[in-house]
Structure 1
Amino acid sequence: MLGIILTGHGSFATGLYEAVVQIMGKQAQFTAINFPDGMSSEVLEQQLTDALKKCDKGDGVIFFTDILGGSPFRLSAMLSYQFNNVEVISGTNLPVLLEMLLQRDVLDAESFRLRALDIAKSSITSLWDENCKKTIDKKEYSDGI
């Protein structure tokens, strides 16, 4: 099973972590590392390194980060070059995280990354767009086609 490490600015990581636990319950090899205001990059790097060693049971680890280019992303990326089977995904949201937690037993790190990006593309929508889909679906069926 792939390990999962959430990281991001402020309480981003623990906020998502708590939401996952509320919805799915506690998960093995799953942790959150915040980067609060005032924390040094050196401290964050050490915490991420410790989490990586704790979460990796041989199949690899996926870092889920908040924003591309931020310190949590950059330090996770640096670690991905130092360890095998480590992937870094940026722009994390709850729908992607939930779906991928369900798939981490059956995918390797690279396949996991590719699947997560596919899911991310469809996880952002709006009420208007969803209502339009329903209207289109109803019209197709009402015409008997």
Structure 2
Amino acid sequence: MSFKQHLKVLIVDDQRTSRMLIRDALQQIGVENVVFAVDGEEALKSMMTTPCHIIISDFNMPKLDGLQLLKAIRSYPPTKKTPFIILTGKGDKELVQKAAALGVNNFLVKPVNVPVLQKTIEAVVGKLG
């Protein structure tokens, strides 16, 4: 089994369309093991029961937003080293600075396309090849 077939990705976004577009893009690069959460609270519960190898999280969500989720993931010892990519609709400088201070691994700007998604993930976990 190759690394990308083994990789388990958690997609966190309150927009169903966005979750499906990211899942489709992941499948195009060979990543099939994908789980979903509709907000940061659900994602946190999911990571505590069945951890994933990488989190791709929207920034703007109800309950826990992307930064609050990132902070919670980094403060929980079993998940604190989990690669975390923030997905945002805007390249907000303040958001980028706050996320960097909390230990984000990378950023992805919507709309997501396959080559950029692959490069963003590879910058965090290494070649998927």
| Structure number with bigger Rg | 1
**TM-score between both structures, scaled by the size of structure 1:** 0.45
Higher helix share: 1
**TM-score between both structures, scaled by the size of structure 2:** 0.49
